[in-house]
Amino acid sequence: MESFSSKSLALQAEKKLLSKMAGRSVAHLFIDETSSEVLDELYRVSKEYTHSRPQAQRVIKDLIKVAVKVAVLHRSGCFGPGELALAARFRQKLRQGAMTALSFGEVDFTFEAAVLAGLLTECRDALLELVAHHLTPKSHGRIRHVFDHFSDAGLLTALYGPDFTQHRGKICDGLRKLLDEGKL
């Protein structure tokens, strides 16, 4: 017997359509204003660090595509009870990473690239485990690309150095607001 599910087909179409339109307008459907401001600052940091506009655009576009797809999966109720536990673990690790990043930004001489990179790697692994059966290998590659880019020790060291103080401040302000509002 042929296996057909209109819900599954609609979900696939929605993910495909949204992945093709991963621009600013679609991001606002799933990503609030504060998150958008943090993403814009992360773009600026990436662009200045890599000296490559296309590379910075690619990493942020990949991040938006992944965020949108995970949001679609969550809102569609595609995650089972075990996966919801993984989602909670991912959220907890992401929250821990944000609080650590804030702490490093607020307390002088406490920054350790290895600690923040380790937390980002744990987030990556938790997210990959969560979406293992829902997203394609191409999306898994996007997840790796985003987390590997932002967990790069050189980028993190530059972000917490004197040249990126203004960017770091804006990112920390956004992260603080997201944490206070319970969105992260």
CATH of the domain at 175: 1.20.1440.160
Of 150 and 30, the structure prediction assigns the larger pLDDT to: 150
| pLDDT-based confidence at residue 11 (cuts at 50, 70, 90) | low
Residue 27's pLDDT is: 54
Confirm if 35 and 174 have CB atoms less than 8 A apart. Answer: yes
6 assigned to some structural domain: no
Length of the chain: 184
46 assigned to some structural domain: yes
* Averaged pLDDT score across all residues of the chain: 86
9 assigned to some structural domain: no
8 assigned to some structural domain: no
Residue 96's pLDDT is: 96
Residue by residue, DSSP assigns 37-84 as HHHHHHHHHHHHHHT-HHHHHHHHHHHHHHHHHHHHHHHTT---HHHH
3 assigned to some structural domain: no
126 assigned to some structural domain: yes
Q: What is the pTM of this model?
A: 0.82
Residue 153's pLDDT is: 95
Number of domains comprising the chain: 1
5 assigned to some structural domain: no
43 assigned to some structural domain: yes
| pLDDT-based confidence at residue 36 (cuts at 50, 70, 90) | confident
Q: Is the pLDDT of residue 111 over 70?
A: yes
CA 79 to each of CA 16, 95, 118, 124: distance values in angstroms, whole numbers, following the listed order: 18, 20, 26, 18
The residue behind tokens 């673990």 is 89
**102: exposed, middle or buried (C-beta count within 10 Å: 0-12, 13-18, 19+)?**
middle
Nearest to 126 by CA among 84, 65, 176: 84
Residue 1's pLDDT is: 44
**78: exposed, middle or buried (C-beta count within 10 Å: 0-12, 13-18, 19+)?**
middle
Residue 151's pLDDT is: 95
Residue 149's pLDDT is: 97
Least confident of 68-72, 113-117, 130-134: 68-72
Domain containing 153: what range? 27-181
Q: How far apart are CA 130 and CA 71, in angstroms?
A: 12
Residue 88's pLDDT is: 94
